[in-house]
A and B are shown apart, each in its own frame.
Chain A
Amino acid sequence: MAAEYPSAAALYEAAKVVRDAGFKRWDVHSPYPIHGMDEAMGLKKSWLSAVVLAGGISGLLTAATMEFGPSSFLYPLTVHGKPTNFFTVPAFFPIMFELTILFSAFAAFFAMFIMNGLPRLHHPIFNWERFSRATNDAFFLVIEARDPRFTEIEARNLLEKSGGQHITIIHED
């Protein structure tokens, strides 16, 4: 069930109402980020940062293994009179740095993909004609029917109470 709101401020207040009513599977859509919306929606800290940290650490360890393994243990080769033990680490830092970033970026990219449920070619919300303005000048709040608290009457009352307009039920097909 979807509703349209006249302004970002109205959407912000409506999000607080829906949050306090205890709904879980719902979302807001606006053409630009609204500061403070995370809190208004009751979103917790995303787990993306943990995935990125894991990616970064694995990049660092990969670089360290791939560099010190061959250069210090498997086939030590003296280059430029530099040592082959731990103290050759300045030469290895750039690779460690690059792989840390590369792996973090991959982790962030793919974790975002999974969190957003991508790749996904179509969503029922696009069946609603008004919704095409979500990237232009309109503000929407959508409560999904699979939310455990969802009943048609309650959702409609809530959206009406919070000042929603053009309240519509959107079907799958």
Chain B
Amino acid sequence: MSDRSQALPTPEGEYFESNRFAGLSVLLGSVALVALAFSVVGAMIDPHQFSFSWLFAFGFFFTLCAGCFFWIIVHYATDADWSVVVRRQLENIACLLAVMAVFFVPVLFLRHHLYDWLNIPPGKEAALDSKRAYLNWNFFVVRAIVFFGLFVLASQLLRRFSVRQDKDGNQQFTIWMRKIAFASLPMFALCLTFGACDWLMSLNYRWFSTMWGVYIFAGAAGSSMSLLVLVITALRSAGYFKNVVTVEHYHIMGKWMFAFCVFWAYIGFSQYMLIWYGNLPEETQYFLVRNTESWWTLSMLLVIGRFFGPFAILLLRSIKKQPHRLCYVAGWIVFMQMLDMYIIVLPALHGTGVHVSIWDFVSLVAIGATLGFVYLQIVAKASLFPMRDPRLIESLKLTN
């Protein structure tokens, strides 16, 4: 409302004081270095187990970063105004996709441990030979380069334009970013779908699911919104975003968490039910491994913990309007995304039951600490919210 906007002055930008958090930065940097060194050791002494652990950690963090990229392009494509104040943090996290591209290199080196289809010579297996036009090493590498090239290019451009708009407030940048967003929407859908098929589904080259890309997307979008809640709350508790991010923004973020909690269940169930009902051996093998032995417990935990629990809790409006309570749910959903990725990747190695390895943790810490370290470097480089965005005032006085 016009009269309410007069009460709010156009805020100055807020800057993350990196010297206040130098200790955290050094800590994360050194933890990352140690964990990366251990990862090299792991790749040497136990390459088979390590390659699956690394892919699990890679998949978890990649979906979080790609999900944040998705929220940026949706923000521009729909001309949203509520998300202006939180958009810079989405940009910062999406920029980490460049780091994820580097972390994909070990997967290429460890490919013979991960992907059986690389080890079977042509002519041995008819089921594989009919897929060779797609599943071959050269095409796999080309695709990976294209996927990461597009992701990194688009996320860097979006952040760069957004930061330049902070300086002069030129509205032309908003129009350019909207164009990038429209080009990115189909690009994102195709890259994430085929990336998910390449890197995760082809762990078992006999298995296929047409729901796979959407399933990975649903997990990525919901968990990255939860990650955003955590990041914003962390910054708020450090004293930033006072009078900028309000309960109303939390309410909307909570509603998105809820929506994607339902969407994840919808997609996951659609995939499961068709395979369960059709009962074809080449399709059921994926779920047979994950529904038997000790994997069954984890699968049940995922179904209940990723859908039924958060669904019931997020139905309450009071939870969505209380940042600290919403944070518990958000943290839980991010943890469930990790579990989801664990159930996707690790049964391909340990088909007979859960076998937790030290390398799972080392990979998680290595990638997570590195991303945290790089994030702390990026976040200090620009204002914490886009201070000259033409929609900033509308976002600040959000009510819903």
Contacts and interface: CB of A to CB of B under 8 A. Distances in A.
A92 to B, nearest CB: 10
Contacts of A94: 273
Nearest to B277: A91
Interface in B1-20: 1-4
B273 A9 contact: no
A91 B269 CA distance: 10
A12 B3 contact: yes
A36 B399 contact: yes
A50 B315 CA distance: 11
B277 A9 contact: no
A34 interface: yes
Given A35-B399, A81-B279, A9 B1 contact: yes
Interface residues of A, number: 18
A8 B269 CA distance: 46
Q: A interface, by DSSP: helix, strand, loop or mixed?
A: helix
A8 B1 CA distance: 8
A34 B4 CA distance: 12
B4 A36 contact: yes
B393 to A, nearest CB: 13
B1 A36 contact: yes
Given A80-B279, A90-B276, A9 B2 contact: yes
A85 to B, nearest CB: 15
B272 interface: yes
A36 B273 CA distance: 44
B263 to A, nearest CB: 13
B3 A90 contact: no
Given A34-B1, A36-B4, A93 B269 contact: yes
Interface in B289-333: 315, 317
Given A35-B399, A90-B272, A93-B269, A80 B2 contact: no
A45 B3 CA distance: 24
B395 to A, nearest CB: 13
Interface in A61-88: 80-81
Interface residues of B, number: 14
B273 A90 contact: yes
Interface string A7-49: 1110011000000000000000000001110010000010001
B273 A93 contact: yes
Given A36-B399, A90-B277, A12 B1 contact: yes
Nearest to B278: A80
A166 B100 CA distance: 66
B286 to A, nearest CB: 15
Given A35-B399, A36-B399, A90-B269, A80 B4 contact: no
Contacts of A45: 317
Contacts of A80: 277, 279
A53 B399 CA distance: 24
A80 B275 CA distance: 13
A94 B163 CA distance: 47
A150 to B, nearest CB: 28
Contacts of A13: 3
13 contacts: A8-B1, A9-B3, A12-B1, A35-B1, A35-B399, A36-B4, A49-B317, A90-B269, A90-B272, A90-B277, A91-B273, A91-B277, A93-B269
Interface of A: 7-9, 12-13, 34-36, 39, 45, 49, 53, 80-81, 90-91, 93-94
Closest 3 pairs (CB-CB, A-B): A9-B3, A35-B399, A36-B399
Given A8-B1, A90-B277, A91-B277, 8 more contacts: A8-B2, A9-B1, A9-B2, A13-B3, A36-B399, A80-B279, A90-B276, A91-B273
